Amino acid sequence: MKTVYGPVSSWRLGKSLGVDPICSETKVCSFDCVYCQLGKGEKTIERRAFVSPRKLEEDFRLFEKSGLKADVITFSGTGEPTLASNLTELVARARKTSRLPIAVLTNSSFLGDESVAATLRGFDVVAAKLDAADESVFKAVNKPHEKIFFDDYFDGIKKFRKNYGGKFCVQAMFVEANKDCAREIALLARELKPNEVQVNTPLRPCAVKPLNEKQLSVIEGVFKEEGGGSQSLGKIYSVYEAKKPSVKPLDLSEVRKRKRPKP
């Protein structure tokens, strides 16, 4: 697998050049979210090096030679990117080879770890997952590793946000199991004072059905209600409203590896 894939059309980030710091044939993550498009895999909290910085730089060079354009470099892929213990070195290689802004899509489970937080403070954009407001919904929707508990998880997000000066986004994925918790999630998100809230529902094949446009519009309205006044939630928008740019990936098969449903 290549460490660099795309660009892909992202409703959140535009033309996004993906960087996969995991590059696993099966998902490696600290969660097993019910809506995950990658299906089952390894659930772990063990951070380790999966790919080499040299490999990343080589793959970046291939993209540069292609002449294709992107708006942003996004660390994501086949698992939770912060599980990569050499993430700092990988980001440094990305900075070395490109002047594009760098984003990360994280499930937020390691934001309370100072070594991870220090690395993520070097990103231009951090999109942090928040799909629950209590332990029961957290377990039902995100199915975290047995050593991850909601209160500690949310405290870690708050701690990171206080010391992060880049663009901070809350990404909230809604399905049947958490659609009635929108107001509680919005109130927690308001504590984080994000620059942006991304209201989402799974539109790619997965184990659960997406909410329809009307349902997600109601949830978006709840966030807008709670985002008023002095404690703003920043820009709030949903996947059904957002426009996606047209893109041509360098290698379509590499993109499909990150979108494939697995048994």
pLDDT digits (tens, 9 = 90+) for 9-65: 999 899 999 999 999 989 999 999 999 999 889 999 999 999 999 999 999 998 988
- Confidence (pLDDT) at 59: 93
How much is the mean pLDDT over the chain? 93
Q: 95 with 125: CB under 8 angstroms? A: no
Is the pLDDT score of 262 beyond 50? no
- Confidence (pLDDT) at 230: 47
At residue 74, the 3 state secondary structure works out as: strand
14: alpha, beta or left? (left if phi > 0; alpha if psi -120 to 50):
left
- Confidence (pLDDT) at 229: 53
The structure's pTM equals: 0.94
What strand order describes the sheet that includes 167-173? 4-10, 14-19, 72-75, 102-106, 125-129, 167-173, 196-200, 235-238
What is the per-residue DSSP string for 1-62?
--SEEEEEEETTTEEEEEE-SS--SSEEES---TT-TT-SEEE----B--S-HHHHHHHHHH
pLDDT average, residue stretch 65-73: 92
Q: How far apart are CA 90 and CA 205, in angstroms?
A: 30
Q: How far apart are CA 153 and CA 111, in angstroms?
A: 8
Q: Which of 88-102, 168-182, 216-230 shows the lowest per-residue confidence on average (mean pLDDT)?
A: 216-230
Q: 202 with 210: CB under 8 angstroms? A: yes
- Confidence (pLDDT) at 254: 81
Could you tell me how far CA 90 lies from the centroid of its own chain?
Answer: 17
At residue 119, the 3 state secondary structure works out as: helix
What are the boundaries of each domain within the chain? 4-257
Instruction: Give CATH for domain 4-257.
Output: 3.20.20.70
- Nearest CA among 192, 190, 129 for reference residue 163: 192
What tokens does 65 get?
A: 């030679």
Q: Which of 45-54, 76-85, 242-251 shows the lowest per-residue confidence on average (mean pLDDT)?
A: 242-251
Q: 154 with 195: CB under 8 angstroms? A: no
Tens-digit pLDDT profile for residues 96-141: 989 999 999 999 999 999 999 999 999 999 999 999 999 999 999 9
Tens-digit pLDDT profile for residues 160-211: 999 999 999 999 999 999 999 999 999 999 999 999 999 999 998 888 999 9
